[in-house]
């Protein structure tokens, strides 16, 4: 393969590499567009997740308060249940006492006050009036009967007082029961408010979780869009690597050709410089350096520096005027 063919082949390989480099740039442009969208979806997802987590903590506080209030309600209900049982027991005792009182009143045949009035009247007749013996015996028996009935009536009255005391006790217990009921109602209302707040927050948390899932889905879609592009980039890089491997030996050949051409030029320049030196023609700085490098001129260090300075000065002039050969 001659130099032109080699250059054409090298340029063809480089063109293939450049084409693929451009393809990679185009792919990365598309990747970056998707990446920007992915970053946006990720930020939105993380923001929704963070809000959901914070609101979940808030909801847990509401439920904890609700549970604490419900625990208080359970304690009050237990206390209320005990009071209700106590009222039932007292009420049952009152019913039993009423039955006893009614039986005693029935046996007494009147109240102790009315019976005492009759007792006093009969006793006065017996003590103050002059009556027949038979009447006296009858009144005496009646007074004895009234005395027994008065005792029965007094027992009935004692039982009645017990009943009244029971009613007072029941009334006090019902008053306490009403207070407990009001307290339960108040706490239950507060508990319901806490529950409703918790449900409201959990509803918002659910919405945010769903929103976060949607954002995550969008993010995955962007990953799905980017992965084939990145895979294609890797494929093209491998293709470039193949072309570079093909190009490397040709570049070595090009470098070898260039080096050989420079060597030929250097040999030619050396020949021309030697001719100038032999014919005492003016030497350029490049001629002088080339002769020194090839050992065609032997100067000590001082002479070399002076000659170098002179040639540098002459080169400064030659930059303004075309170089002419000097005899």
* pLDDT tens, residue by residue, 33-75: 999 999 999 999 999 999 999 999 999 999 999 999 999 999 9
CB 276 within 8 A of CB 282: yes
Query: Which of 63, 64, 68, 73 is CA-nearest to residue 195?
Result: 63
Neighbours of 235 (CB within 10 A): 12
Query: Which of 13, 12, 4 is CA-nearest to residue 248?
Result: 13
Residue 115 pLDDT: 53
Q: Which residues of 272-294 are buried (b: 16+ CB within 10 A; e: fewer)?
A: ebbebeeeeeebbeebbebbeee
Query: Which of 226, 244, 223 is CA-nearest to residue 21?
Result: 244
User: Residue 108, exposed/middle/buried by CB under 10 A (0-12, 13-18, 19+)?
Assistant: buried
Distance CA 276, CA 295 (A): 15
Query: Which of 281, 292, 283 is CA-nearest to residue 318?
Result: 283
Question: For 281, which DSSP code?
Answer: P
Those residues whose C-beta lies under 8 Å from the C-beta of residue 307, and which sit 6 or more positions away, are 288, 299
CB 147 within 8 A of CB 108: no
CB 167 within 8 A of CB 98: no
Distance CA 152, CA 142 (A): 15
Question: The whole model's pTM is what?
Answer: 0.56
Each residue's pLDDT expressed in tens, for the chain with a length of 327 residues: 677 888 888 899 999 999 999 999 999 999 999 999 999 999 999 999 999 999 999 999 999 999 999 999 999 999 999 999 999 999 999 999 989 888 887 776 655 555 555 655 555 655 566 666 666 666 556 656 666 776 777 888 888 889 999 999 999 999 999 999 999 999 999 999 999 999 999 999 999 999 999 999 999 999 999 999 999 999 999 999 999 999 888 888 888 888 877 778 777 777 777 777 777 777 778 767 767 776 777 665 434 444 445 544 444 434 433 333 322
Contacts 24+ apart (CB under 8 A), 226-233: 226/31, 226/34, 226/35, 226/38, 229/27, 229/30, 229/31, 229/34, 230/31, 232/27, 233/24, 233/27, 233/28, 233/31
Residue 36 pLDDT: 95
Side-chain-side CA neighbours of 108 within 13 Å: the count stands at 25
Question: For 123, which DSSP code?
Answer: H
CB 94 within 8 A of CB 166: yes
CB 72 within 8 A of CB 185: no
Distance CA 318, CA 95 (A): 144
Question: For 297, which DSSP code?
Answer: S
Q: Which residue has the tokens 């491998």?
A: 238
Residue 83 pLDDT: 94
Q: Which residue has the tokens 């304690």?
A: 75
Those residues whose C-beta lies under 8 Å from the C-beta of residue 155, and which sit 6 or more positions away, are 104
Cα dihedral 267, 268, 270, 275, rounded to 10, equals 140
* Token pair listed for 238: 């491998």
Distance CA 288, CA 270 (A): 10
Query: Which of 98, 100, 85, 88 is CA-nearest to residue 163?
Result: 98
């Amino acid at each position: 393969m001659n130099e032109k063919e080699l250059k054409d082949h090298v340029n063809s390989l480089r063109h293939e590499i450049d084409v693929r480099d451009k393809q990679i740039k185009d792919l990365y442009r598309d990747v970056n567009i998707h990446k920007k969208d992915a970053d946006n979806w990720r930020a939105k997802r993380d923001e929704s997740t963070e809000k959901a987590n914070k609101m979940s903590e808030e909801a847990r506080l509401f439920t904890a308060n609700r549970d604490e209030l419900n625990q208080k309600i359970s304690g009050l209900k237990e206390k209320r249940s005990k009071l209700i049982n106590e009222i039932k027991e007292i009420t049952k005792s009152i019913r039993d006492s009423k039955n006893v009182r009614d039986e005693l009143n029935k046996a007494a045949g009147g109240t102790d006050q009315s019976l005492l009035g009759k007792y006093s009247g009969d006793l006065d007749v017996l003590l103050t009036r002059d009556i027949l013996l038979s009447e006296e015996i009858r009144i005496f028996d009646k007074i004895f009967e009234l005395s027994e009935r008065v005792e029965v009536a007094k027992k009935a009255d004692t039982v009645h007082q017990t009943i009244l005391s029971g009613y007072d006790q029941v009334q006090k217990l019902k008053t306490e029961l009403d207070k407990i009921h009001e307290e339960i109602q108040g706490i239950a209302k507060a508990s319901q408010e806490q529950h409703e707040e918790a449900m409201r927050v959990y509803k918002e948390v659910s919405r945010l979780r769903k929103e976060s899932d949607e954002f995550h889905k969008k993010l995955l879609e962007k990953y799905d869009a980017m992965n084939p592009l990145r895979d294609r980039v890797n494929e093209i890089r491998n293709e470039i690597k193949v072309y570079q491997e093909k190009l490397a030996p040709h570049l070595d050949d090009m470098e070898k050709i260039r080096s050989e051409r420079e060597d030929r030029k250097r040999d030619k320049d050396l020949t021309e410089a030697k001719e100038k030196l032999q014919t005492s023609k003016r030497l350029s700085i490049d001629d002088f350096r080339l002769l020194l490098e090839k050992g065609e001129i032997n100067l000590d260090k001082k002479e070399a520096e002076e000659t170098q300075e002179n040639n540098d000065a002459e080169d400064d002039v030659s930059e303004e005027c075309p170089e002419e050969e000097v005899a």
